[in-house]
Amino acid sequence: MKNSLLAVIILFSTFAFGQEDSVEAPKIAVKVPIGETVVLKGVSIKFLEVLEDSRCPKGVNCIWAGRARVKVEVTSKGKKEEKILTFGEVKPGEEKNTNLFSSSNFAINGLTLNPYPTSESTGKAKGYVLLICEEKNK
């Protein structure tokens, strides 16, 4: 009887403590290769070019973490607009921007630029891919 009572107490305490933590839903990324166009929620996103990739390569000690800047063309309802996204650190006087499109219901944001440089890959041509995601506005 004691063992049954102990099991019931443990069972209910795990339910009570397990309910307090909220879990953030994972973001689902969409890949946009350089030069390609992707349509997400009726918004056309074309990855035009990499303006800068000064991110510190993995396995290397750098003074500055660096950044990546990309140019993207966003078309919504017939209106074209070029945007520059910045990933990583920004220089003084600059603003960090990863937003591609915003509406009252959702936003499309840039997540990152792949591949991340390594000490072996610096200076070599890369097949860049921009990762974007849709996020619901609250």
Interval 92-132: pLDDT, tens: 777 788 889 988 889 999 999 999 888 776 555 578 999 99
Per the CB < 8 A criterion, the answer to whether 45 and 38 are in contact is yes
- Of residues 96 and 17, the one with the higher pLDDT is 96
User: In Å, what is the CA distance from 45 to each residue of 29, 34, 53, 89, 100?
Assistant: 14, 11, 20, 24, 8
- The span from the CA of 104 to the CA of 106, in Å, is 6
Tell me which of 12-16, 39-43, 98-102 is least confident.
Answer: 12-16
Q: According to the model, what pLDDT value does residue 89 have?
A: 83
Q: Which two three-digit tokens encode residue 119?
A: 């000490």
Confidence of residue 76 (pLDDT cuts 50, 70, 90): very high
The whole-number pLDDT of residue 93 equals 78
Q: Has domain 24-136 been given CATH number 2.60.40?
A: no
| Per-residue tokens: 28 | 């689902």
Residue 40, classified by CB atoms within 10 Å of its CB into exposed (0-12), middle (13-18) or buried (19+), is: middle
pLDDT in tens, 50-68: 999 988 888 888 888 889 9
Q: What is the 3-state secondary structure (H, E, C) of 23-80?
A: CCCCCCCEEEECCCEEEECCEEEEEEEEEEECCCCECCCCCCCCEEEEEEEEEECCEE
